[in-house]
Amino acid sequence: MSENQIPHIPDLELAQQLFVLSSPPLSETHDTVRKSVVERIRAEALAPLWLEYKHLLSFDQSEYESLKKINDEKIQELDAKIKEAEESFGEAEVANAEKEKAEYLAKIGEKDKAVEAYKHTATKSPGLGSKIDLIFSQIRIGLFFSDHQMVKSGIDDAKILIDKGGDWERRNRLKAYNGIYFLSIRDFSAASSLLLDVLSTFTSTELLSYDEIVKYAVIAGVVSLSRVDMKTKLIDSPEVLQVLPVQYSPLDTLINSLYLCDYARFFKSLAEIEGLYIKTSRYVAPHTRYFIKEMRKRAYAQLLESYRALSIESMARAFGVSVEFLDAYVVSRILSNNLSSDLSIIETNRPDNKNAQYQAVVKQGDLLLNKLQKYQAAVRISGMEKVVA
């Protein structure tokens, strides 16, 4: 199965545009995006989609009715094609005709009817591979409408079939789908593992472009990977190096400045990517506050790992922020368990492994001595009782 056989149905780029229209922070682009979406709805007769998102778009009832008529006529035509296949051809032709109808329903935004049609088509499809592809189509519908439960259910179903004999390419495709799902539910560690794994063999362009997969792999990785893994899997990755400096230079700056401990540069790039790549992404935007908080926390912790004590003034200079900001944000919000916000010197309380081991030995030794003393006393008393007798 080649990648050009995988239709962009439903088109997830259109879902991204609808997300932009639903996001108040992106209001500056709303007029341009709204015009583009409505033009596409008119050109492709996406009547159900227009009705579903009419609160975001310029809606015209009479024009909607005209587009719906086009949809109804096309569906009647596809039903006639299915009937003809049932009467004159075999199972393969019937399955293809039903798949064509399912794809059309998915394209125009008939979510429930499309899912039902895909499931019905699966009962007529003889091959395991074609059944898996139909599940992938349903997963894309779930991704389009941000239906996480539907996506998870589809991924679980695809895993079952792939374990029964799915080929390598479909296994690889499932990793990409699963990675995006984990990204959307804030499991950055699982998302990073899967997305980085598919970079060298990525073919799922119906899901996202290759550049976008690299971007999301880095976003998930920078917040979840250890310092050592971040170096090997992100900074030194040939796939990442091929894309990041050219297409996403602020993200490239972020991971390199964090690794090189250039915190002032790190914070500037963090603010930049928040506006460019985090808030603008339908998969990551719901987790913006969490992502920014975790990245700041990671930078603070990385600096403090090198010191027993550090002045707030020194930290402020390193981070390129004011002392007031550092005292208000770091102390009170992130490191509140270890710091006092009214101190001018920050002390870090890191566990000393050798000391902990020593204390454990001492404690166990004390317990052993206590038991020996009790045993000795018991033996002495027993001996005295025998003498008296």
Which residues does 32 contact at the CB level (< 8 Å), separation at least 6? none
Which tokens go with 339?
Answer: 């710091």
CB 216 within 8 A of CB 143: no
CB 93 within 8 A of CB 32: no
Q: Please indicate whether residue 264 or residue 103 has the higher confidence score (pLDDT).
A: 103
Torsion angles phi and psi, residue 346, rounded to 5: -95, 125
Q: Is the pLDDT of residue 342 over 50?
A: no
Burial class (CB in 10 A: 0-12, 13-18, 19+), 59: middle
The residue written with tokens 């984990």 in the block is 182
What CA–CA distance (Å, rounded) separates 285 from 15?
A: 14
**How much is the average pLDDT of 79-101?**
93
Lowest mean pLDDT among 1-15, 20-34, 204-218, 275-289: 1-15
Please report the pLDDT score of residue 134 as a whole number: 96
Please report the pLDDT score of residue 126 as a whole number: 77
Preceding amide of 48 cis, omega within 30: no
Largest CA-CA distance found in the chain, in angstroms, rounded: 114
Residue type, 294: E
Please report the pLDDT score of residue 315 as a whole number: 67
What CA–CA distance (Å, rounded) separates 312 from 303?
A: 12
Which tokens go with 234?
Answer: 């992100």
CB 20 within 8 A of CB 280: yes
CA 38 to chain centroid, in Å, comes to 29
Indicate the length of the chain as a whole number: 389
What CA–CA distance (Å, rounded) separates 164 from 179?
A: 21
| Residue 157, number of CB atoms within 10 A of its CB | 17
Q: Write b or e for each residue in 96-134: b if 16 or more Cβ atoms lie within 10 A of its Cβ, otherwise e.
A: bbbbbbbbbbbbbbbbebbbebbeebbebbeeebbbbbb
pLDDT in tens, 145-166: 999 999 999 999 999 999 998 8
Please report the pLDDT score of residue 339 as a whole number: 42
The residue written with tokens 């004999």 in the block is 165
The residue written with tokens 């030794």 in the block is 365
Please report the pLDDT score of residue 374 as a whole number: 67
pLDDT in tens, 195-243: 999 999 999 999 999 999 999 999 999 999 999 999 999 999 999 999 9
CB 301 within 8 A of CB 337: no
Lowest mean pLDDT among 34-43, 70-79, 183-192, 379-388: 379-388
In the DSSP assignment, the letter for residue 344 is S
What CA–CA distance (Å, rounded) separates 101 from 146?
A: 23
Q: Please indicate whether residue 23 or residue 314 has the higher confidence score (pLDDT).
A: 23
Q: Could you tell me the CA-to-CA distances from 13 to 89, 180, 339, 383 in Å, in that order? A: 36, 14, 45, 89
The residue written with tokens 């709805």 in the block is 41
The residue written with tokens 């794809």 in the block is 103
Work out the mean pLDDT of the chain and round it to a whole number: 86
pLDDT in tens, 233-269: 999 999 999 999 999 999 999 999 999 999 889 999 9
Please report the pLDDT score of residue 337 as a whole number: 53
